[in-house]
A and B are shown apart, each in its own frame.
Chain A
């Protein structure tokens, strides 16, 4: 029954046009960035950086390198937006439309209903990240050759990798990106369980993430950075470091997993006691 309900939730989620806004925007942004990289000084600056560090630029201006360059701004700006947009819709939109009342006239427990919605949200987060990664790499491959990988994220990662190893790390990074997207979605999902409009749930989740980001930028909060989600969101870039800081990665994943569970439990507790009225 749980699988049947999950399948139904996925039908509902992927049957809606607005679910695909994120995918379309990612594709648009990727192509815009790709063209900018290809035809502006961005590329020559990158070549200079590589050559300044003693590497042959032609060997590392590749599909993998450009794919990661494109991913960074999208992961920071677009992914939270679309993950929270869908997360905010999961419960609040159904309550607003009245379909939640139709479902809750059925002998299904509120907990189970929320669980399948949350799991469906998790599936969406994974699909979103996989689509983001795949389209970034495919688009980059159209314009750039399949060669070594160079990753430079100030304060996070500096790495030069072969094509095969770079691709493996690229895949691994997406595992962590999926956890990030799921966490953002869970936050919006939690707010969506309150008696609020879908847009309010999205805005609340984005505000929470933004406040975290602002706090992290204040030097006083350096000692508290492990309590702030963006610190852990950035662990996907550490995958490209040599050696990979597995202990830090594990810690971040535990924190994000706990954040996911907390968001679900708070959401479920609120939803359980809530009155559903037209």
Chain B
């Protein structure tokens, strides 16, 4: 659905995105991760034809956005961090206005979408009277109006309370499950990405440092949870024997290359240390992300 090929974007002397290549396959929920200024919003801007790439090609729904913007965005909905509306107009009028730039929208379709996002009954009130959560739902409604196949969400949970975040998460899951949408989600909330996404792309300083299925990030785990009476003595013994390459927080060890857990247990038992537990620690997206960032720093 989205394909970026060797894309570069320069703002004056600053290189915001450099040599960025990735693709978002149809039907997947893809998380776009990165620190502030990593180039996520710039990349999204280029996908929507709002930012011109300095070099490279951006294709959305099979069309080159820079040349065939209208066709490329026909089946695309987008939500931005802090969605902006015409506050002095009603929610209904805002939806009419924004959807008209795709195609005239029948009243029935507006009703359907308002029902879907749960804004029925407040659609005639001015948007300035809406709460933050209602604005987020209105943003979702405008994104759904053209009947999109691809949804681009740029920090959709920004500024929402825990209930609002939960609602956004459930909505994204529902959109994927019930409507089969392809979703690109840019977010700082790693837990949210972990729960929603099937693939992730990680950017650092405008460059891609990881792209792959979410399971792959879990496979990268190298830490074992070790429960013994004296962790310090145990790790000292293991280090002396060259069986571990690291230890952390008094609970975890990293095995040296070619070493497996039974070898560690045997070694400890031989030296009189009882092992209560040794088990692989499932890696979270957060630990994976942080390790990736420090490895690339």
Which residues on A are within 8 Å of B, measured CB to CB?
Answer: 1, 4-5, 8, 11-12, 15-17, 97-99, 101-109, 113, 273, 275-278
* Residue from B11, B71, B81 within 8 A of A107 (CB atoms): B71
A276:B50 contact, CB within 8 angstroms: yes
Additional pairs, 20, CB under 8 Å, beyond known A98-B84, A102-B83 = A1-B104, A5-B100, A8-B97, A8-B100, A15-B89, A101-B80, A102-B84, A102-B85, A103-B101, A105-B80, A106-B73, A107-B69, A107-B74, A107-B76, A108-B101, A275-B50, A275-B51, A276-B45, A276-B50, A278-B82
Query: Chain A: which residue is nearest B68 at the CB level?
Result: A107
Establish whether residues A277 and B45, one from each chain, have CB atoms under 8 Å apart when the complex forms.
yes
Chain A residues whose CB sits within 8 angstroms of the CB of B74 once the complex forms: 107
Closest beta carbon of chain A to B282's beta carbon, Å: 36
Taking CB as reference atom, which chain B residue is nearest A275? B51
Assuming the A-B contacts A107-B74, A109-B70, are A102 and B89 also in contact, with contact meaning beta carbons closer than 8 angstroms in the complex? no
A11 engages B97 (CB within 8 Å): yes
Residues of A within 8 A of B83 (CB): 98, 102
A273 to B49, CA, bound (A): 11
Please tell me which one of the listed residues B42, B70, B73, B88 contacts residue A105 in the complex, with CB atoms under 8 A apart. Answer: B73
Q: How far is the CA of A104 from the CA of B100 in the complex (A)?
A: 12
Partner of B93, one of A4, A11, A102, A273: A11
Nearest 8 CB-CB pairings of A with B: A98-B84, A106-B101, A105-B78, A107-B73, A108-B101, A276-B50, A107-B70, A275-B51
Q: Measured between alpha carbons, how far is A277 from B9 in the docked complex, in Å?
A: 13
Query: Is B102 interfacial (CB-CB < 8 Å)?
Result: yes
Q: How far is the CB of A192 from chain B (nearest CB, A)?
A: 17
A98 touches B82 (CB 8 A): yes
- Name the B residues within 8 Å of A8 (CB-CB): 96-97, 100
- Contact assessment for B102 and A107 in the assembled complex, using a CB-CB cutoff below 8 Å: yes
Does B182 touch A at the CB level, under 8 Å? Answer: no
Tell whether B8 is near chain A: CB-to-CB under 8 Å.
Answer: no
Give 7 CB contacts A-B under 8 Å: A8-B100, A15-B89, A101-B50, A104-B50, A105-B50, A107-B70, A276-B50
A98 engages B100 (CB within 8 Å):
no
Q: Cβ of B187 < 8 Å from any Cβ of A?
A: no
Expressed in whole angstroms, the Cα–Cα distance for A187 and B146 within the complex equals: 35
Asked whether, in the complex, the Cβ of B70 is within 8 Å of the Cβ of A102, the reply is no
Chain A: minimal CB distance from B141 (Å): 12
Q: A4 near B80 (CB under 8 angstroms)? A: no
**How far is A104 from B85 in the complex, measured between Cα atoms in Å?**
13
Cβ-defined partner of B80 (8 Å) among A5, A15, A275, A278 = A278
Nearest residue, chain A, Cβ from B142? A102
Instruction: Give CA–CA (A277, B48) in the complex, Å.
Output: 11
A98 to B154, CA, bound (A): 14
A98 to B127, CA, bound (A): 15
CA distance A276 to B42 in the complex (A): 10
Asked if B85 contacts A99 (CB within 8 A), the reply is yes
A8: nearest residue on chain B (CB-CB)? B97
Contact status B50-A277, CB under 8 Å: yes
Tell me which residues across on chain A come within 8 A of B71, comparing CB atoms. 107
Once the chains are docked, how many angstroms separate the CA of A278 from the CA of B76? 19
Most chain A CB within 10 A, of B41, B50, B73, is at B50
- Chain A residues near B51: list those with CB within 8 A: 275-277
Decide yes or no: A97 and B70 within 8 Å by CB, A105-B76, A275-B52 being known contacts: no
Asked whether any CB of chain A lies closer than 8 Å to the CB of B30, the reply is no
From 113 to 127 in chain B, residues with beta carbon under 8 angstroms from any chain A beta carbon are none
Q: Is the CB of A107 within 8 A of B50?
A: no
Query: Does B98 lie within 8 Å of A106, measured CB to CB?
Result: yes
Residues of B within 8 A of A98 (CB): 80, 82-84
CA distance in complex: A182, B183 (Å): 44
Q: Is the CB of B41 within 8 A of A277?
A: yes
The answer to whether B97 and A12 touch across the interface, beta carbons within 8 angstroms, is yes
Provide the residues of chain B in CB contact with A12, threshold 8 Å.
86, 89, 97
CA distance A108 to B73 in the complex (A): 9
